[in-house]
């Protein structure tokens, strides 16, 4: 089957690779002159398999009310006369309880574990190399209330197989000495190595690697098409 994938970012290239593996003839179309030059170029570059805490939790409604008046709030919500927005808000509120929180953690953990395994399979199959680090992530808190709330989330996540633990301020400073400048204000909870840093190089390198690494070798071609660029993989 001939298939067109719109967008040569990390998602588009990954999709194209898996389609190719299943025997499809794939054409990737992007308006930029190369892959990973838009969203994938400027993303945070972080694959947080162990960071699986849903935004919807028992503390979220009160936080959302406070954030409505904060221009730098991490969750932007500006009420409008829009039924779709209010319907979404009601659905969000329905998830802001401990039962829903644990259920959602379980689902996110399962999705993250699958995603992590799929990434490892892709790297192994293609042999691509990118600037990845596997050192884990340290979450730090500047007040006791936030730290206590994190402790509750840690307990839930550990029940579902996430290797996450609470540490003291001194332990955190040993794990990450760069925090010493702020040592009087923080404590933290680290997550382990399954968290990775991924850069746009991942998608840029995975595309050229697709053809030669597949058992049924494919040719790669790049052509201009009006205001777009496209790369086509076809069976040899």
∠ Cα 226 229 230 (to 5°): 120
Would you place residue 228 in the very low, low, confident or very high pLDDT band (cuts 50, 70, 90)? very low
pLDDT of residue 15: 94
Is the distance from CB of 220 to CB of 210 less than 8 angstroms?
Answer: yes
Pair type for strands 218-225 and 137-141 = unpaired
pLDDT of residue 191: 60
Least confident interval from 50-59, 64-73, 89-98, 191-200: 191-200
Q: What CATH fold (topology level) applies to the domain 1-43+200-236? A: Translation Initiation Factor IF3 (3.30.110)
Would you place residue 189 in the very low, low, confident or very high pLDDT band (cuts 50, 70, 90)? low
Is the distance from CB of 162 to CB of 173 less than 8 angstroms?
Answer: no
Q: How many helices (H) and strands (E) does the chain have?
A: 7, 8
- 227 SS3 class: coil
Least confident interval from 86-95, 201-210, 218-227: 218-227
Would you place residue 97 in the very low, low, confident or very high pLDDT band (cuts 50, 70, 90)? very high
Would you place residue 229 in the very low, low, confident or very high pLDDT band (cuts 50, 70, 90)? very low
Nearest to 153 by CA among 139, 171, 143: 139
pLDDT digits (tens, 9 = 90+) for 15-38: 999 999 999 999 999 999 999 999
Burial class (CB in 10 A: 0-12, 13-18, 19+), 119: middle
Instruction: Report d(CA 191, CA 165) in Å as an integer.
Output: 7
Longest dimension (CA), the chain: 62
> Would you kindly state where each structural domain of the chain is located, as residue ranges?
1-43+200-236
Would you place residue 12 in the very low, low, confident or very high pLDDT band (cuts 50, 70, 90)? very high
Nearest to 21 by CA among 230, 216, 222: 216
Q: Copy the structure tokens of residue 76.
A: 């932007």
pLDDT digits (tens, 9 = 90+) for 110-153: 998 898 898 889 899 989 887 788 888 888 888 888 888 888 88
Backbone angles phi, psi at 37, to 5 degrees: -110, 5
pLDDT digits (tens, 9 = 90+) for 65-92: 888 888 888 877 788 899 999 999 999 9
pLDDT of residue 133: 81
pLDDT of residue 214: 38
Nearest to 36 by CA among 9, 63, 73: 9
How big is the chain by its Cα radius of gyration, in Å? 22
The conformation of residue 231, written as its DSSP 8-state character, comes to E
Least confident interval from 94-103, 113-122, 169-178, 202-211: 202-211
Q: Classify 188 in phi/psi space as left (phi over 0), alpha (psi -120 to 50) or beta.
A: beta
């Amino acid at each position: 089957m001939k298939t067109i994938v719109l967008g040569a970012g990390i998602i588009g290239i990954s999709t194209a690779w898996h389609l190719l593996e299943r025997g499809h003839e794939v054409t990737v179309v992007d308006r930029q002159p190369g892959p990973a030059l838009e969203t994938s170029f400027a993303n945070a570059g972080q694959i947080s398999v162990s960071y699986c805490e849903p935004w919807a939790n028992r503390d979220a409604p009160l936080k959302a009310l406070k954030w409505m008046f904060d221009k730098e709030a991490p969750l932007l919500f500006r009420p409008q006369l829009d039924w779709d927005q209010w319907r979404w808000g009601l659905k969000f509120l329905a998830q802001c309880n401990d039962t829903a929180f644990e259920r959602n953690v379980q689902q996110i953990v399962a999705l993250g574990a699958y995603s992590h395994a799929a990434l490892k399979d892709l790297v192994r199959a293609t042999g691509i190399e990118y600037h990845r680090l596997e050192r884990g992530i340290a979450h730090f808190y500047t007040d006791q209330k936030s730290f206590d709330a994190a402790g509750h989330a840690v307990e839930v996540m550990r029940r579902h197989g996430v290797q996450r633990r609470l540490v003291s301020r001194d332990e955190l400073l040993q794990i990450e000495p760069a925090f010493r400048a702020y040592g009087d204000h923080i404590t933290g909870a680290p997550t382990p190595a399954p968290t990775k840093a991924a850069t746009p190089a991942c998608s840029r390198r995975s595309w050229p690697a697709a053809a030669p690494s597949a058992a049924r070798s494919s040719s790669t071609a790049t052509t201009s098409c009006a205001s777009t660029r496209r790369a086509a993989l076809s069976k040899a």
